[in-house]
Chains A and B, each alone.
Chain A
């Protein structure tokens, strides 16, 4: 079991995307998007996982993750998960001691880029890179599970 503490931000510009950086493509879908019990299937390039998050708020959640066979993940994503499926490319960007996960979303969420940092403990000092924009940690619109029911491309600007 993990207790996950993370902060999430919008990205101001592309300066994080240095020449030669490579990302990993993910597809993920949700079996449950209730806040207290979010269940996700994620298919990466090498591994597939079933992920269960419980607990109360977005900053501080119980998290369990189990590797599952790729053939199971495919059936789960295509026939059992809530549609649509989210696809994104994840880049890892180091800034000081933190390794930021920068997600570029595709398809129904094309245009959205989010950066996340995982903290060791609540309130830990986080040095923000200059390409980081507004914090959206507590904004449910940006929860990945919400991007299924209300994708970015449908938002009114």
Chain B
């Protein structure tokens, strides 16, 4: 059974712009929405570039949670996003930067209601795994619920100030 363990960090906008320019990074546009958000489970519909997925996540238990993901037709995903998902939808650009040979930082630059927020995520194999932070990776927000993607629907970043 798949279990997800990840750590999340904030990234400064100027650092990201600089990295994108120097590395000529190309991001992938992502649009995601939720059919269900509560403590017990979330159900997410996500369009990422050419692919679309439905993802079911269980309860958060010490940095990890059960996760099931299935690819679905793009047409289904778009209908679900626009007809059934909770508002607002989350739109972001995702950049991938190698951490080592097999692992990537996933850096999400949020748009619309969450413009200004940039989060870098690293998926771990086990919870206490050692992680070397590069200079552009800032404050850790793994346990801060405000930064959960599902929370950004009901309480978007722009409304925090």
Interface residues of A (CB under 8 A from B): 1, 31-32, 34, 36-37, 39, 50, 52, 54-55, 62, 64, 66, 68, 71-72, 75-76, 79-80, 82
The main secondary structure of chain A at its interface with chain B is: strand
Inter-chain contacts of A36 with B (CB < 8 A):
84
Q: Total A-B pairs in contact (CB under 8 Å)?
A: 67
B41→A66 contact, CB < 8 A: no
A31→B70 contact, CB < 8 A: no
A64→B35 contact, CB < 8 A: no
**Residue among A37, A55, A72, A79 facing the most chain B CB atoms (10 A cut-off):** A37
Interface residues of B (CB under 8 A from A): 1, 35-36, 40-41, 43, 54, 56, 58-59, 66, 68, 70, 72, 75-76, 79-80, 83-86
A31→B83 contact, CB < 8 A: no
B108 to chain A minimum Cβ distance, whole angstroms, is: 24
A31→B68 contact, CB < 8 A: no
Name the contact of A52 in the complex, choosing from B1, B54, B68 (C-beta under 8 A): B54
A89 to chain B minimum Cβ distance, whole angstroms, is: 27
Inter-chain contacts of B72 with A (CB < 8 A):
64, 66
A55–B75 alpha-carbon span in the complex (Å)? 16
A80 closest partner in B (C-beta): B58
B84→A54 contact, CB < 8 A: yes
A32→B43 contact, CB < 8 A: yes
> With A50-B70, A71-B1 given, is the CB distance from A32 to B35 under 8 Å?
yes
A66–B59 alpha-carbon span in the complex (Å)? 23
18 residue pairs of the A-B complex, CB under 8 angstroms, read: A1-B75, A37-B35, A37-B36, A50-B70, A54-B79, A54-B80, A55-B83, A62-B79, A64-B79, A66-B72, A71-B1, A72-B68, A75-B66, A76-B56, A79-B58, A80-B40, A80-B66, A82-B40
